[in-house]
Structure 1
Amino acid sequence: MPFIKVWIHFVWSTKNRIPFMHTREIRQTIFTHIKENAKEKGIYIDFINGYTDHVHCLVSLGIDQSMSKIMQLIKGESAFWINKHGICGEKFEWQDEYFAVSVSESVVDRVRNYIRHQEEHHQKKTFAHEYNEFIEKYDFQKFK
């Protein structure tokens, strides 16, 4: 049996960055559901949090899991569930795109802490600003 540990930091936003998750209660309801649903599907979410218009998620990939399949399962099912239960009061959608970056074992605690403090973080910086920083920091524009 192979032994692997590959950490991925996923970030995705609501469609058109609409602040559907405008209260802490809505966010916690959604994040709890995502984590429970992921567990049922064999996806290990170490930590999940976000703000009004986006989500950060630290995942340990399983041996037969791909990033695209994980995002399809998490985003697709959660949007369906949110709409079915009227969590946001209007039609909810996730943006198609997402970020996914590998995380070294040596900085997992730092990433976990960063994800944990999203609400405070976004009192100082918008998601649009953070988005542009991700593009620049990880040099994503060269892949377009």
Structure 2
Amino acid sequence: MIHSFVRNYLHITWSSKERIKVFNSFRVRISVKNFILEKTKEIQIPVLSVNVQSEHIHLLVDLPSDICLADFVQKVKGSSSYWINQERLVDGRFSWQRGYGAFSVSASQLEIVKSYIINQDSHHKIKSFEEEYNEWKNNYGFFDD
């Protein structure tokens, strides 16, 4: 009998265009979070944690082996930006910044990453999103020129 056992735990993050802080109210942040959860459920991607900050998103997922990461992120980013504009949740035309970060997570580190995502408000009192993102890139071997 042939079996495939796959766990692709990924911590994915992306930001608003030019990292402008557009999700300033709790109501808007919850609305965006709920939309992302609905969309991921619709495309059958298990979400372990999600947090919407004023200018960025954190998402911890278990990406199935038959789903391409780039396609998944494009679906979530594309549909959410369209929805945000349709609902007029922010002033002016909204768009996400190009690209995203996706970092693998060991099963042994899931609770730590979940806690990190849940406690974003506390983390950003110490370090900005940009500082943390650059730190992750360095830790994972991505160096800016």
Fold-level similarity (TM above 0.5): yes
The residue number in structure 2 matching 1:103 is: 105
1: CA distance, partners of 2:35 / 2:115: 21
1: CA distance, partners of 2:86 / 2:41: 20
Measured on the aligned residues, the alpha-carbon RMSD in Å equals: 1.4
Pick aligned residue for 2:120 from 118, 121, 124: 118
Alpha-carbon displacement from aligned partner over 1:73-122 (angstroms, at most 9, x marks no partner) = 10000000000010113211111111101100000000000000011111
CA contact (8 A) 1:50 1:119 kept: no
Letter in 2 for 1:127: F
* Unaligned runs of at least 5 residues, structure 1: none
Deviation, structure 1 residue 26: 1.1
Aligned 1:62-101 pairs, distance under 5 A: 62-101=64-103
Alpha-carbon displacement from aligned partner over 1:111-140 (angstroms, at most 9, x marks no partner) = 000000011111221112112212211111
Matched, 1:133 2:132: no
**Identity of paired residues, percent?**
35
Q: Which has the higher strand share?
A: 1
Alpha-carbon displacement from aligned partner over 1:3-31 (angstroms, at most 9, x marks no partner) = 32110000111100010111222111101
Aligned residues: 143
1: CA distance, partners of 2:27 / 2:125: 18
The residue number in structure 1 matching 2:50 is: 48
Letter in 1 for 2:56: H
Q: Which runs of 4+ in 1 moved over 4 A?
A: none
Of 40-49 and 73-82, deviating more is 40-49
2: CA distance, partners of 1:68 / 1:77: 14
Pick aligned residue for 2:15 from 13, 16, 33: 13
Q: TM-score, normalised to structure 1's length?
A: 0.93
CA contact (8 A) 2:11 2:61 kept: yes
Of 105-114 and 61-70, deviating more is 61-70
CA contact (8 A) 2:11 2:104 kept: yes
1: CA distance, partners of 2:5 / 2:138: 33
2: CA distance, partners of 1:73 / 1:62: 15
SS in 1 for 2:99: strand
The residue number in structure 2 matching 1:37 is: 39
Letter in 2 for 1:105: A
